[in-house]
Amino acid sequence: MNLDEGQRRKVAEWIEQGLKLSEIQDKLAADLGVRMTYMEVRFLIDDLKLRPKDILPVATLAIGPEKHATPAKSAASSSAPPPLTGTQPAPNGKVSVTVDQIARAGALVSGKVTFTDGQSAEWYLDQTGRLGLAPMAQGYRPPQADIAEFQRQLQEELARMGL
């Protein structure tokens, strides 16, 4: 379904306000008289190149040889390590992998990885089983040993999750 420019601006406004896709679906029907399925709303948001905001931080599962963090663990815990950025070295100089609680659009599962040199990337596994890696720094190529460790950790975590 095609929306006019004013309707597109309204949808962008709702995304900026942090509304969930189901809320946008309801507002489209109530405010604009446009009925769409949830999937059509997802495609619309994608077509408009918009990204819904996470009102609460996304809980992730940290994996690796260290202790496993669980989503039940409080994010405000004083013993929690500070979040990794693209320029901090990974803890103990090791590869650090997280799995998103909610996979990114078009992926079966997704998450983030921080390599031993502190560079990070987003990863995803698509419906055909292809693994994709999108580095935060354009042109970055992780060390070959880090790639092997990332794949090993990812395989272990996916097996633990039953995938």
pTM of the model: 0.45
pLDDT in the model for residue 57: 40
The SS3 of residue 85 is coil
Residue 96 · residue 62 · CB < 8 Å: yes
C-beta of residue 69 within 8 angstroms of C-beta of residue 62: yes
Q: What is the pLDDT of residues 69-95, one digit of tens each?
A: 344 333 343 344 444 343 444 455 688
**In the chain, where are the structural domains located?**
5-47, 60-161
**What is the distance, to the nearest Å, from the Cα of residue 147 to the centroid of all Cα atoms in its chain?**
19
Reported as a single tens digit per residue, the pLDDT across 21-68 is 888 889 999 988 888 888 888 888 888 888 776 543 443 434 444 333
Q: What CA dihedral angle connects 102, 99, 51 and 135, to 10 degrees?
A: -160
What mean pLDDT is reported for the chain?
Answer: 75
